[in-house]
Structure 1
Amino acid sequence: MSDTPRLHRAGTTLLDRARELRPLIEREAGAAEAQGRLTDPVVDALHETGLFGVWAPVPLGGSESSPREFMAVVEELSYADPSTGWVLMATTLENSTAGAYLGDDAVERIFKGPRMPVFAGQGTRPGVAVREDGGFRLSGQWSFASGMLHSQYVHSLGAVEGTDDVRIFITPIEDAKLLGNWDVLGLRATGSIDYSIDGAYVPESQTHVFTANEPLRGGALFRLGVLDQALICHSGWALGVGRRLLDELARHARARTGRPGQIAGSDAFHTDFARTEATFRAARALVHEAWDDAERALDAGRLLDVREETMVRLALNHITSTIAEVARFVYASGGTSALRDGLIQRLFRDAQAGTAHITSGPQLLRECGRELAGLAPDQSWAVFTLE
Structure 2
Amino acid sequence: MTATDERPKELTAVLDRVRALGPALRERAPEAERAGRHSDRTIADLDATGAFAIGSPLEFGGYEFSVRQQLDVVTEVARWDGSAGWTVWVGASTNWIPAGSGARVVEEVYGPRWVGPRVAGSSHFPASRGRAKRVEGGWLLSGGPWTFGSDALWAPYTNLGCIADDGEGPYLVGAQVPREELRFLDDWKVAGMRATGSVSSELTGDELFVPEHRCVDFRDITGGRLDSGLKGSLWKAPSLGWAFSLMAGMSIGIAEGALARFLERSAGRPVRGTTYKNQLEAPLTHLMLSEVHSKIRSATLMARANAEETDRLGLLAAEGTPAEPEYMQDFSARVLVETAYAAKWCAEAIELLQRNSGSTAIMDFEPIQRAWRDARVITLHGALNLEALSENYGRLMAGMPPHNFAGITTLDRFAPSVQKKAE
The alignment's TM-score, normalised by the length of structure 1, stands at 0.89
Aligned to 2:163: 159
Q: 1:355 to 1:258 in 2, by over 3 A?
A: closer
Q: 1:6 to 1:31 in 2, by over 3 A?
A: same
**Per the alignment, in what secondary structure is the counterpart of residue 399 of structure 2?**
coil
Q: How far does the alpha carbon of each residue in 1:242-280 deviate from its partner, in whole angstroms, 9 at most, with x for none?
A: 211222222232241699456434323321221221122
Residue 204 of structure 2 corresponds to residue 204 of structure 1: no
Residue 127 of structure 2 corresponds to residue 128 of structure 1: no
Residue 308 of structure 2 corresponds to residue 292 of structure 1: yes
Moved more, 288-297 or 193-202: 288-297
Q: How far does the alpha carbon of each residue in 1:187-217 deviate from its partner, in whole angstroms, 9 at most, with x for none?
A: 1110111122342111121133324243513
Q: Distance in 2 between matches of 1:203 and 1:349?
A: 41
| Fraction of identical pairs, as percent | 26
Residue 171 of structure 2 corresponds to residue 171 of structure 1: no
Q: Structure 1 regions of 5+ residues with no counterpart?
A: none
**Per the alignment, in what secondary structure is the counterpart of residue 147 of structure 2?**
strand
Q: 1:257 to 1:187 in 2, by over 3 A?
A: same
Q: Distance in 1 between matches of 2:329 and 2:186?
A: 40
RMSD: 2.7
Question: What displacement does 1:386 show?
Answer: 5.0
Residue 151 of structure 2 corresponds to residue 147 of structure 1: yes
- The structure that is strand-richer by fraction is 1
Aligned to 1:370: 395
Paired amino acid for 1:67: V
The answer to whether the 8 A contact 1:7-1:295 is kept is: no
Q: Distance in 2 between matches of 1:224 and 1:359?
A: 19
Q: 1:7 to 1:330 in 2, by over 3 A?
A: same
The alignment's TM-score, normalised by the length of structure 2, stands at 0.82
Paired amino acid for 2:214: Q
Q: 1:22 to 1:278 in 2, by over 3 A?
A: same
From 204, 229, 241, the counterpart of 1:217: 229
**Per the alignment, in what secondary structure is the counterpart of residue 125 of structure 1?**
coil
The answer to whether the 8 A contact 1:258-1:264 is kept is: no
The answer to whether the 8 A contact 1:136-1:204 is kept is: yes
Question: What displacement does 1:130 show?
Answer: 0.5
The answer to whether the 8 A contact 1:155-1:168 is kept is: yes
Aligned to 1:90: 90
Q: How far does the alpha carbon of each residue in 1:160-196 deviate from its partner, in whole angstroms, 9 at most, with x for none?
A: 1234442211101122221111111111110111122
Residue 358 of structure 2 corresponds to residue 358 of structure 1: no
Aligned to 1:138: 141
The answer to whether the 8 A contact 1:186-1:350 is kept is: yes
**Per the alignment, in what secondary structure is the counterpart of residue 125 of structure 2?**
strand
Question: What displacement does 1:356 show?
Answer: 0.8
Question: What displacement does 1:90 show?
Answer: 1.1
Q: Distance in 2 between matches of 1:80 and 1:142?
A: 29
Q: Structure 2 regions of 5+ residues with no counterpart?
A: 413-423
Q: Distance in 2 between matches of 1:22 and 1:369?
A: 40
> What does 1:1-387 align with in structure 2 at a 5 Å threshold?
8-9=4-5, 10-11=7-8, 12=11, 13-94=13-94, 96-115=95-114, 118-122=118-122, 123-126=124-127, 127-139=130-142, 140-162=144-166, 163-197=169-203, 198-211=206-219, 212=221, 213-214=223-224, 216-218=228-230, 219-256=232-269, 260-261=275-276, 263-301=279-317, 302-303=322-323, 305-341=328-364, 342-361=366-385, 362-372=387-397, 374-376=398-400, 384=409, 387=412
**How many residues are matched?**
381
**Per the alignment, in what secondary structure is the counterpart of residue 31 of structure 1?**
helix
